Amino acid sequence: MLPHSQQGHGPITFVLMHFLGGSHRTWGPTIPFLDREHRCVALNTPGFGDAHSVQGYSVAEMADQVHATVLGLNLQRCVLVGHSMTGKVAVALAARRPEYLAGLVLVAPSPPGPQPMSEEDRDRQRAYGATRSEAEQFVDEASGHRLPDALREVAIADAQAVNLEAWRAWVDHGSREDWSERIGSLPYPTLLICGADDAQVPGADEQRRTTLSHFPDSLLLTLPGAGHLMPLQTPLALADPMLALAHRIANA
């Protein structure tokens, strides 16, 4: 079972996953807007946060461990929430059509196919050594707009604590994996949220063409003034449409 935090109660369980270099702490600012109405389980994926020593870095292996954790916690009526890297994991897991799955939220997701990235950018990302200065640069570039100091320190600490084997596995393998032919058309209500100022992943038009082509029951929103780290940067604006999706599912 993956290390995780749990808060709140309610008819829907948000299973919250983080971006490359994050942890369950990534969702700290957003959870207080969710957990008064629904249960929130924030995971650490293999190699990150409290799962630093956990192995299994491919998309399928990460999906396996998320699935085993959901089963181990006996969670029902789950909304899988994938952020960036784990957006791809969420879609891969949804393709298995597990009984507990009720919907998805994809926050600035890595697409199901290979993530568009120049070889120069891959080389730069692969060379990351988790020093303080590198972590600061990584967080500031991802956020687009500087995070409040306290939250910036949380993100920097997470970025320094990564297992570099897991980091490089994503750069060299996970981000290149192509799941687009394995997903098909999935019936789950799906919310995809982009940051208007996010330069890290494909924008809204490309997400609609690729990721959302697998989800006919979907809604795409773009948050103004938001970069890639929306759970830290724009928690209330992110939580509101998540709650609307959960309300729709709970009352279906």
Q: State the chain's mean pLDDT as an integer.
A: 96
Other CB atoms within 10 Å distance of the CB of residue 35: 17
pLDDT band with cut points at 50, 70 and 90 for residue 45 = very high
Dump the DSSP string for 172-217.
Answer: HTGGG---HHHH----S-EEEEEETT--SS--HHHHHHTGGGG-SS
Dump the DSSP string for 126-164.
Answer: HT----HHHHHHHHHHHHSSPPPHHHHHHHHHHHHS--H
Span 130-157, mean pLDDT? Answer: 96
- pTM comes to 0.96
Reported as a single tens digit per residue, the pLDDT across 153-211 is 999 999 999 999 999 999 999 999 999 999 999 999 999 999 999 988 889 999 999 99
**Would you state the structure tokens that stand for residue 44, as one six-digit string?**
């650490």
Domains of the chain in start order, with CATH, are: 4-250 (3.40.50.1820)
Reported as a single tens digit per residue, the pLDDT across 20-44 is 999 999 999 999 999 999 999 999 9
